[in-house]
């Protein structure tokens, strides 16, 4: 059992305390780290959209008045912004998710390629956000 300067020994466990995984404060800000972090953020945004999606689904399939009311809501500033936010999160999470699957499958594991395709994901997210903004407004 070795005590490292950054990892404290916990009092109530006998096993050595492993470093907690995302030590965000000591990592350098690199594209792969940013891509991974943005994947979590966009995933969380999409999670929050699930109840909203259910509300939209229930109202859009209810009476014609409900349909029109929700359609008006979607066209309001708040509605458009929410659609833009979740749409952007979806585009990024999809592109970067495919990237993660390819990395899991063993493609492009060198450091340079990881940085390159992390940038690709981030740029795809930004371009997707711009296209979506043009479409929604």
Interface with other proteins (CB under 8 A): 20-22, 40, 43-44, 46-47, 50-51, 53-54, 56-58, 60-61, 64, 67, 71, 74-75, 83, 87, 90, 94, 97-98, 101, 104, 135-136
- From 29, 46, 31, select the one nearest 93 (Cα to Cα): 46
- Taking a C-beta distance cutoff of 8 angstroms, is the pair 119, 31 a contact? yes
- Taking a C-beta distance cutoff of 8 angstroms, is the pair 46, 86 a contact? yes
CB of 81 to other proteins, least distance (A): 13
Toward other proteins, which CB reaches closer, 67 or 107?
Answer: 67
CB of 98 to other proteins, least distance (A): 7
Give whole-number Cα distances, 113 to 6, 81, 108, 110, 136, in Å.
31, 34, 6, 5, 34
- From 108, 110, 102, 128, select the one nearest 38 (Cα to Cα): 128
CB of 61 to other proteins, least distance (A): 6
How close are the terminal C-alpha atoms of the chain, in Å? 60
- Taking a C-beta distance cutoff of 8 angstroms, is the pair 52, 101 a contact? no
Toward other proteins, which CB reaches closer, 101 or 126?
Answer: 101
CB of 102 to other proteins, least distance (A): 11
Toward other proteins, which CB reaches closer, 109 or 112?
Answer: 109
CB of 5 to other proteins, least distance (A): 19
Toward other proteins, which CB reaches closer, 44 or 116?
Answer: 44
């Amino acid at each position: 059992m070795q005590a490292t300067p950054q990892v404290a020994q916990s009092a109530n466990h006998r096993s050595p305390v492993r470093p907690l995984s995302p030590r965000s404060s000591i990592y350098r800000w690199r594209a792969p780290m940013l891509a991974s972090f943005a994947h979590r953020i966009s995933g969380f945004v999409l999670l929050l959209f699930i109840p909203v999606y259910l509300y939209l689904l229930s109202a859009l399939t209810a009476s014609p008045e409900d349909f029109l009311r929700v359609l008006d809501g979607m066209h309001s500033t708040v509605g458009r912004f929410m659609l833009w936010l979740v749409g952007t999160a979806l585009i990024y999470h999809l592109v970067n998710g495919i990237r993660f699957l390819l990395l899991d499958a063993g493609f492009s594991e060198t450091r340079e390629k990881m940085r390159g395709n992390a940038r690709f994901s981030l740029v795809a997210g930004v371009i997707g956000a711009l296209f979506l903004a043009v479409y929604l407004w």
